[in-house]
Amino acid sequence: MRVRKAVIPVAGLGTRFLPATKAIPKEMLTIVDRPTIQYIVEEAVASGIEQIILVTSQGKSAIENHFDYDFQLETFLKAKNKFDLCEEVSHISNLIDIVSVRQKKPLGLGHAIWTTRNVVGNEPFAVLLGDDLVQSHKPCCQQMIDLFDDVQESIVAIQRVSKEQTRNYGIVEGEPAERPRTFKVERMVEKPAPGTTNSDMAIIGRYILRPEIFDILDKTTPGHGGEIQLTDALLALSRQRSMFAYEFEGTRFDAGDKLGYLKAIVAFGLRHTVLGGDFRRHLKEVAANL
């Protein structure tokens, strides 16, 4: 089985980023020169994904519009001989086939994934969270698809976190598997209280899931925070068949968190082909005066 589709849930309320997210989806906040969500879609495209399924909610139409064809804008830019800008704008709408489904109530990430069941169908699919950015040589999603091609089982991406941070993540417990950076999942727990796990393997916003997850989500009841948790469904799936945790190569930024967002701007600003050099010099000046 081959991974062709990617689900990007963007239906959350973004309360950690209020007041900025009162009227603007957090996925539309800009990192250097493009919204966060565009980096995520570009990662999926670079990983060979053929269709993206956005899970949206009320107030998120700016995301759909960003990837839509804008006849008026393109005509205006051409009339002003701004062909480079026109090319950039039209490139976004031609990136990939995007469909969207609505999550009518914010009942949790597990519920958001469940709403895509009829569009995904009976095949494995990638999940990329709309506010989780990964900077890496090989796209994180591609790294995971390569592993899936080999193992044909569900995979969660993980990063190491400190003991104090485990309470903010879904945590995986497991043993090293044969392949590099790969672990066989034995147990998973959503946001464990300090001292209740010895593992430092935190799940981040990249997954490859087998379609069996939908039947499990059908029966998953609300868990931590009263939400239908993807982690609970993943634990059930890992009891039915093998599941792997993959320590991806790269750096991940939680752009849905204020500090994570600032770190992402610095990291992506430094790598920017046009602005990177000047930005680096500026940061050195700032650091010298701290």
Closer of 9 and 139 to ligand UTP (Cβ): 9
**Burial status of residue 158 (CB atoms within 10 A of its CB: 0-12, 13-18, 19 or more):** buried
Q: How far is residue 190's CA from residue 174's CA, in Å, rounded to a whole number?
A: 15
From first CA to last CA, the distance across the chain in angstroms is: 53
Closer of 14 and 279 to ligand UTP (Cβ): 14
Q: Report the nearest approach of ligand UTP to the CB of residue 57 (Å).
A: 7
Closer of 55 and 144 to ligand UTP (Cβ): 55
Q: Report the nearest approach of ligand UTP to the CB of residue 130 (Å).
A: 4
Q: How far is residue 279's CA from residue 269's CA, in Å, rounded to a whole number?
A: 7
Closer of 139 and 205 to ligand UTP (Cβ): 205
Q: Which residue has the tokens 């650091």?
A: 287
Q: How far is residue 134's CA from residue 94's CA, in Å, rounded to a whole number?
A: 23
Q: Report the nearest approach of ligand UTP to the CB of residue 232 (Å).
A: 14
Q: How far is residue 100's CA from residue 119's CA, in Å, rounded to a whole number?
A: 9
Number of neighbours of residue 91 by Cβ within 10 angstroms: 9
DSSP 15: G
Buried b or exposed e, range 254-284, using 16+ CB within 10 angstroms: bbbbeebbeebbeebbeeeeeeeeebeeeee
Closer of 222 and 276 to ligand UTP (Cβ): 222
Q: How far is residue 261's CA from residue 16's CA, in Å, rounded to a whole number?
A: 11
Q: Report the nearest approach of ligand UTP to the CB of residue 68 (Å).
A: 20
Q: Report the nearest approach of ligand UTP to the CB of residue 83 (Å).
A: 35
Interface ranges with ligand UTP (CB under 6 A): 9-17, 55, 103, 106-109, 111-112, 129-131, 256
Taking CB atoms, the residue at the shortest distance from ligand UTP is: 12
Q: Report the nearest approach of ligand UTP to the CB of residue 122 (Å).
A: 22
Q: Report the nearest approach of ligand UTP to the CB of residue 126 (Å).
A: 14
Closer of 14 and 223 to ligand UTP (Cβ): 14
Closer of 90 and 159 to ligand UTP (Cβ): 159
